[in-house]
A and B are shown apart, each in its own frame.
Chain A
Amino acid sequence: GQQLNQSPQSMFIQEGEDVSMNCTSSSIFNTWLWYKQDPGEGPVLLIALYKAGELTSNGRLTAQFGITRKDSFLNISASIPSDVGIYFCAGSPPGSNFGNEKLTFGTGTRLTIIP
């Protein structure tokens, strides 16, 4: 099946630094979503991307849908302590029945902020 590879697997940064992570696939996706998961919680949607080349911001977060439709990146500017968590990309492949589109999740990027 399709797999989404995220990098880096983990990041250790200082508060105030910018963060960049990306997600790549061997096949194209119609939709890219970025989620954040805190320990013991379900993922929370951060940004949704629906068109190749689309660049979308949500506060300090910016994400882009790659032109090739095989990748996406997420940037976080001026990180704060509450940014700690695991970030997952997720994609919806073409060919899914409308209304039942399945999501494939990436391997996750664990963000830790060093005090």
Chain B
Amino acid sequence: GAVVSQHPSWVICKSGTSVKIECRSLDFQATTMFWYRQFPKQSLMLMATSNEGSKATYEQGVEKDKFLINHASLTLSTLTVTSAHPEDSSFYICSARPWDRDQETQYFGPGTRLLVL
């Protein structure tokens, strides 16, 4: 149980285009999902907290207009990188927290590797 999927697993795009990444909890419902970015050989950095039915909460320094997050249902959150630039190239990972758990546990997706040319 507690499987999280991401789509696509990798994407290459031209500078200036927008890219949408989906995060799904496959066998549980998640009122909260999280989006992270990870640069090579570095740790995971939280970008935003996505809450079902409400606006996402962004971490300091993360542009909300550039990284659009939508949490439309209890099993799906999307991250759209708008007007992508080469510096946005990174490994984007989502995680989901089962709604019925009393304690903090996050399950991670397999990640999406974005390369902006």
A residues adjacent to B (C-beta < 8 A) = 30-31, 33, 35, 40-45, 48, 50, 88, 92, 99-108
Contact = CB atoms under 8 A, between A and B. Distances in A.
In the A-B complex, the 4 residue pairs with the smallest Cβ-Cβ separation, listed nearest first, are A42-B108, A101-B104, A92-B104, A105-B43
Given A41-B110, A43-B93, A92-B104, 5 more contacts: A31-B104, A45-B105, A45-B106, A48-B105, A100-B57
Interface size class of B (residues with CB under 8 A): 20 to 34
Contacts of A106: 43
Q: B interface, by DSSP: helix, strand, loop or mixed?
A: strand
A40 B46 contact: no
Contacts of B42: 108
A99 B105 contact: no
B104 A108 contact: no
B43 A42 contact: no
A100 B58 CA distance: 12
Nearest to A43: B108
B76 to A, nearest CB: 17
B49 A105 contact: no
B5 to A, nearest CB: 10
B43 A88 contact: yes
